[in-house]
Chain A
Amino acid sequence: MSYDAAIIGAGHNGLVAACYLARAGLKVVVVEKNDWIGGAAVSRELYPGFTYSNCSYVCSLFRPEIMRDLELPKHGLQVLPYEGGAVFTRDGGYLATFRDHEANRRELMRHSPRDAEAYDRYSRDVMRHCRFIRPLLLRTPPDPATFRPRDIAELAWLGRKVGEMSEGQICDMIRFWTMSISDFLDEYFESPVIKAYLAVSAIIGTALGPMSPGSAYVLLHHYMGDVDGNVGAWGFARGGMGAITQALTASLRAAGGEVRTGAGVEKVLVANGRATGLRLEGGEEIAARRVLSNMDVKRTFLKHVDTAELPPAFVKRVETFKSRGSSGKLNIALDAAPHFPALPDGAPMLKGDLHFTDSVERMERAYDDWKAGHFSRDPFQDTMIPTMIDPTMAPPGKHFMSCFIQYAPPKIEGRDWTDADRDAFGQTVIDQIAEYSPGFKDRILHMEVRTPRELEAEVGLTDGNIFQGELTFDQLLFNRPVPGYAQYKTPIRDLWLCGSSAHPGGGVMGAPGRNAASEILRDLRAKTEMRQAYAVV
């Protein structure tokens, strides 16, 4: 039996690509090495009665065009906006955030009246950058080195968009794409805790510190999504992030596609420079007219394709593609909601993200530990309790807590992580929370601790980089993942990339998967119901 397309990996991007191809009439199979689907967008029950979002935990980037095209709401997907959040300060206080503009302004005013007003200007400026970048997400980047009419037209389109900006805004944009988040925030704010809160989005998932040039762009990557048109807002997928991949799987099956779990791919079969199918770990071969890899670019080409089939310059580029892991994760089942004495009773902050790092300098020091090959002794965490909003993930009165941690290096002082290292890492995080929440440790029923080692072993993320490759300017747009190969094609004919290593990068966004499918359908001149990206008006 032969397929029109075989997709390696049931991450959300692999599933998105599969859905579009199946709906266009192709015979499609997705093969996933794990016994479950989802990749880094997964919900699993590791302790009875509790559902964890084991990797990703909040949703904003997932393109609404995809939800609609693939009828995901019909297949069970619900995205819930959340409110609240707080940064705890070492002096026993906190800075909270609120959805209500006035409440938020008053909260900022408690820390700095000037910053409270500067915040509006800051939001305006970040929103301007978002308006520029959002239309790029669902477009294949032009290849500036070819003279194909399509690339020239796409470059001209980009040029026109830039041309619509004033000189001042072009300068701002270039500065923003290259500067550090710390420098960027210094242009607006004076309060250390306000800066610490806003710097968060710029370091998540990236092996940069807040003082590293290039970190400001990462912030944009986390702001350019939306929940129901609220640009920059984040929400929970009801039932955990796995709800997204479960809905995608249901949509795929409804379109006649197949998903096989427990089916790890050993090799992409190549004959005469063309991909012809897959060989699974057990030796079974699957023939396919084309192969799409949802694995990251390093894993795809350095582990599952015969390098002899590849141009050496390409292999070299793939080897040096930066995908340094920087993050870890704790998933915790709690017997009761944690208590934070610093917060007023009944306050809404626990429904949002909780941070314990109250200055940019402390974040940078956490990064210093990473550079020295160690996990941060005073880590930064983005911690959430989804069950404050989502009733489906834990028994009543009990809670699931998700702690996203920076920094955790791919290796400990040059050697592999050990179980003892992992446990020490987990303990550091727990100790930090307990400093602000007495009795916290006694409420823990079960805990899953994940370092880059676990992320690589389970999800296949090389070196544990959560975005399948860092989101720095040198690895974006037509340079992602490798110059000359940003259009989802690879040096091997009929082998395509559809994961987050490709434009526009990581996060639960679905855009790489959709764009890859779009390129394939375009090559086939197949009819598709893929809708146009929503206009930015």
Chain B
Amino acid sequence: MKDLRHHYEAPLRTTPFHDRIAAANVLNQWGPWAGYTTALVLEDAEMEYSAIRNTASLYDLCPMIKYRIAGRDAVDYLNRLTLRDVARVAVGAVQYTAWCDDRGKLLDDGTLFRLGEAEFLLCCQERHLPWLLDSAIGFEVSVHDVTAEIAALSLQGPCTASVLDAAGFDVSALKPYRFASFPFDGGDLIISRTGFTGDLGYELWIEPALALPLWDRLMAAGAYCGIRPVGSHALDIARIEAGFLAAHADFVPADQALREDRVRSPYELALDWMIDFGKGHFNGRRALLAERDGQTSEWAFVALDIEGNVAADHAILYDGRNREVGQITSAAWSPSAKRSIALAQVRRPHHAGAKGGLRAEIYALRELHYVKLMMTARMTERPFFAPPRRRTTPPGRF
């Protein structure tokens, strides 16, 4: 769009991969994501999910928000902003991290790529520019939204290392949470061993002009194993199996919550393992210290194994005395773990595993009527599905 004033004629933009995805999207099912139109399902959600766990899948990540953070104080700044110690991230490495407001409540989680000594890329679901800029006061650092400047693609599944190899990119030495740069069509392709599926997989980062050639190269290289584009529905099942949190599904970002009682701390979202109190001051540190020392966390974030085979989306959780003690935030029937799984916010101390477990109130809509089920929900381990192949280096062929 040359004349920016006309933006309202197409409120949802298309991503650099849109032409290919539109051609593959025979069901024509689209949904908005951060101002872009993205595929929910292209052909068949179950088959798409199956590609993620069986062969290789391609998912368009372009709408993910990306901030380029650079400048002399970039490390100090990011240490101030986020929970983990950024100094420990080597150039070429990726850190899964999270950040809080001054009251120690979670704003978002995301991945931080260290591109150079003083250059980073922060990828996340929500927009944070005012917060990132306000936090930068006193640091020599620049923060830019580069979402539209980078086309991103997620290639996930047990065959993805082989597919990349066939496409001419040797990633055999790449360990999880590492990235490397490869020449592609006169440009620079960055490949990171990261993803949202808890499986073997990679994310690819390229300038938008080279997006379609990259897509075509990967589709051709993966043809042998039936590589296929997947939509958000398939990915979300893999995401829940991997036990990753999603903003607005599992937590409300603290700066967006209208209701003050909806905000949660990292302790309440099981992200407290990230907190590095030893690294110096960071946003929310004082509040988090007080929460830790005073044991004042009110909520816990848990993984549940639900009796029966009906997905327990948004079910209310009860204790043995029929008191409401929590809420399921994400749920699915797990095709890989063969059980009904859920992520939930539970009021402490009920997370500690009450005798006989909690009970989930599930409403299954069957032929216009609800079938109401009260199902036992037991605490279990996250991730729900964790194949060893996700970590093996060099990666296997399938």
B283 CB to closest chain A CB (Å) equals 15
User: Separation in Å of the B12 CB from the closest CB of chain A?
Assistant: 6
> Quick one: which of A107, A127, A166, A188 contacts B7, CB cutoff 8 A?
A107
Q: Which residue from B35, B257, B260 sits with its C-beta under 8 Å from A105?
A: B35
Q: Which residue of A lies closest to B34 (CB)?
A: A102
Q: How far is the CA of A81 from the CA of B281 in the complex (A)?
A: 49
- Please indicate the chain A residues that have their CB under 8 angstroms from the CB of B260 in the complex: 128, 164-166, 169
Shortest Cβ distance from A347 into B: residue: B8
Chain B residues within 8 Å of A, Cβ to Cβ: 3-8, 11-12, 32, 35, 103, 127-130, 133, 145, 255-258, 260
User: A residues 78-94 with Cβ under 8 Å of B?
Assistant: none
The listed residue (A105, A106, A124) touching B256 by CB distance below 8 A is A124
Q: Which of A102, A131, A168 has a CB less than 8 Å from the CB of B35?
A: A102
What's the nearest-Cβ distance from chain B to residue A264, in Å?
48
- Determine if A100 is an interface residue (Cβ-Cβ < 8 Å): yes
CB <8 Å contact, B8 and A121: no
Q: Kindly list chain A residues whose C-beta atoms are within 8 Å of the C-beta of B256.
A: 120-121, 124
Q: Does A219 contact B (CB under 8 A)?
A: no
Report Cα–Cα, A9/B35, bound state, in Å: 51
Partner of A117, one of B11, B32, B129, B257: B129
Contact in complex: A103, B258 (CB < 8 Å): no
CB distance B11 to A103 under 8 Å?
yes
* Complex interface bits, A320-360 against B, C-beta within 8 A gives 1, otherwise 0: 00000000000000000000000010011000000000000
Q: Does A317 contact B (CB under 8 A)?
A: no
* Alpha-carbon distance between A169 and B8 when the two chains are bound, in angstroms: 35
- 26 interchain pairs (CB within 8 A)? A98-B8, A102-B12, A106-B8, A106-B35, A107-B8, A110-B4, A110-B5, A110-B7, A113-B129, A113-B145, A114-B130, A117-B128, A118-B129, A118-B130, A120-B256, A121-B130, A124-B257, A124-B258, A127-B258, A128-B258, A165-B260, A169-B260, A188-B130, A344-B6, A347-B8, A348-B8
Q: State the Cβ distance, A331 to closest chain B Cβ, in Å.
A: 29
| C-alpha spacing A98/B133, complex, angstroms | 26
Bound: A118/B255 CA distance, A: 10
Q: How many residues of A contact B (CB 8 A)?
A: 28
**Closest chain B residue to A168, Cβ basis:** B103
Bound-state Cα–Cα, A96 to B9, Å: 13
**Contact status B133-A114, CB under 8 Å:** yes
A114 with B7, Cβ < 8 A, contacts A106-B35, A120-B256, A128-B258 known: no
Q: How far is the CA of A402 from the CA of B312 in the complex (A)?
A: 53
Q: Are A121 and B255 in contact (CB under 8 A)?
A: yes
Q: Which residues of A contact B145 (CB under 8 A)?
A: 113
Chain A residues lying within 8 Å of B6, measured Cβ to Cβ, are 344
Given contacts A103-B8, A103-B11, A127-B258, contact A117 B103 (CB under 8 A): no
CB distance from A49 to the nearest CB of B (A): 33
With A105-B35, A124-B257 given, can you name 9 additional A-B contacts, CB distance below 8 Å? A98-B8, A106-B8, A110-B5, A114-B133, A124-B255, A131-B258, A169-B260, A188-B130, A344-B6
The B-contacting residues of A in range 347-388, CB under 8 angstroms, are 347-348
Tell me the minimal C-beta distance from B18 to chain A in angstroms.
16
Chain B contacts for A168, CB-based, 8 A: 103
Q: How far is the CB of A388 from chain B (nearest CB, A)?
A: 16
Question: Which residues of chain A are near B12, meaning CB under 8 Å?
Answer: 102
Task: Name the contact of A96 in the complex, choosing from B8, B11, B129, B257 (C-beta under 8 A).
Answer: B8
Per-position binary interface string of chain A over residues 112-142, scored 1 when its CB falls under 8 Å from any chain B CB and 0 otherwise: 0110011011001001100100000000000
Nearest 9 pairs of A and B residues by beta carbon: A106-B7, A103-B8, A103-B11, A117-B129, A118-B130, A102-B11, A102-B35, A100-B11, A117-B127
| Chain B nearest CB, measured from A161 CB (Å) | 12
Residues in chain B near residue A100, CB distance under 8 A: 8, 11
Distance in angstroms between the alpha carbons of A102 and B256 in the assembled complex:
16
* Chain B residues positioned under 8 Å from A344 (CB to CB): 3, 5-6
Instruction: Please name the residue on chain A nearest to B4 by beta carbon.
Output: A110
Residue of B nearest to A118 (CB): B130
User: Do A102 and B255 have beta carbons less than 8 Å apart?
Assistant: no
Q: How far is the CA of A138 from the CA of B6 in the complex (A)?
A: 43
Chain B residues positioned under 8 Å from A105 (CB to CB): 35
Query: How distant is the Cα of A169 from the Cα of B128 in the complex, in angstroms?
Result: 21
Cβ contact within 8 Å between A102 and B127:
no
Which residues 139-167 of A have a CB within 8 angstroms of B?
Answer: 164-166
Give Cα A337 to B145, complex, Å. Answer: 40
Complex formed: what's the CA distance from A344 to B127 in Å? Answer: 29
Chain B: CB-nearest residue to A98: B8
Interface centre among A110, A117, A127 (most CB of B within 10 A): A117
| Chain A: minimal CB distance from B258 (Å) | 6
Shortest CB distance B68–A (Å) = 13
Chain B hits for A165, CB < 8 A = 260
The CA-CA distance from A93 to B150 in the complex, in Å, is 30
Proximity string of chain A (492-522) to chain B, C-beta cutoff 8 Å, 1 when within and 0 when not = 0000000000000000000000000000000
- The residue in A103, A164, A169 that gathers the most chain B C-beta atoms within 10 A of its C-beta is A103
Q: Give A106 to B32 CA distance when docked, in angstroms.
A: 15
A231 CB → nearest B CB, Å: 10
How far does the Cβ of B156 sit from chain A's closest Cβ, in whole Å? 28
Distance A348 CA – B11 CA, assembled complex (angstroms):
13
- Across the two chains, which residue of chain B brings its CB closest to A346? B9
Give CA–CA (A131, B127) in the complex, Å. 24
A114 touching B8 in the complex, CB below 8 Å, given contacts A102-B35, A127-B258: no
A188 to B131, CA, bound (A): 11
B11: chain A residues within 8 A (beta carbon): 98, 100, 102-103, 106
CA distance A100 to B258 in the complex (A): 20
Q: Which residue of B lies closest to A166 (CB)?
A: B260
Distance, CA A96 to CA B258, complexed state (A): 26
B6 vs chain A, min Cβ distance (A): 6
Residues of B within 8 A of A102 (CB): 11-12, 32, 35
Cβ–Cβ contact A114 & B35, under 8 A: no
- Please, how many angstroms separate the alpha-carbon atoms of A323 and B11 in the complex? 44
- Interchain nearest-CB distance for B289 vs A (Å): 18
What's the nearest-Cβ distance from chain B to residue A385, in Å?
Answer: 19
Residues of the B chain whose Cβ atoms lie less than 8 Å from the Cβ of A164: 260
Q: Which partner residue on chain A sits nearest B35 by CB separation? A: A102
A338 to B7 CA separation, bound complex (whole angstroms): 23
For A98, A106, A168, A188, which residue has the most chain B Cβ atoms within 10 angstroms? A106
Distance from A128 Cβ to chain B, minimum over Cβ atoms (Å): 6
- A110 to chain B: closest residue by CB: B4
- Scan A279-318; emit 1 where CB is below 8 A from any B CB, else 0: 0000000000000000000000000000000000000000
Q: Which residues of A contact B35 (CB under 8 A)?
A: 102, 105-106
How close is A445's CB to chain B, nearest CB, in angstroms?
31
Determine the chain B residues whose CB is within 8 A of the CB of A166 once the complex forms: 260
B257 proximity list for chain A (CB < 8 A): 124
How far is A462 from B133 in the complex, measured between Cα atoms in Å?
Answer: 49
A131 to B259, CA, bound (A): 9
Count chain A CB atoms within 10 A of each CB in B8, B12, B103, B255 and give the residue with the most. B8
Q: How far is the CA of A188 from the CA of B258 in the complex (A)?
A: 17
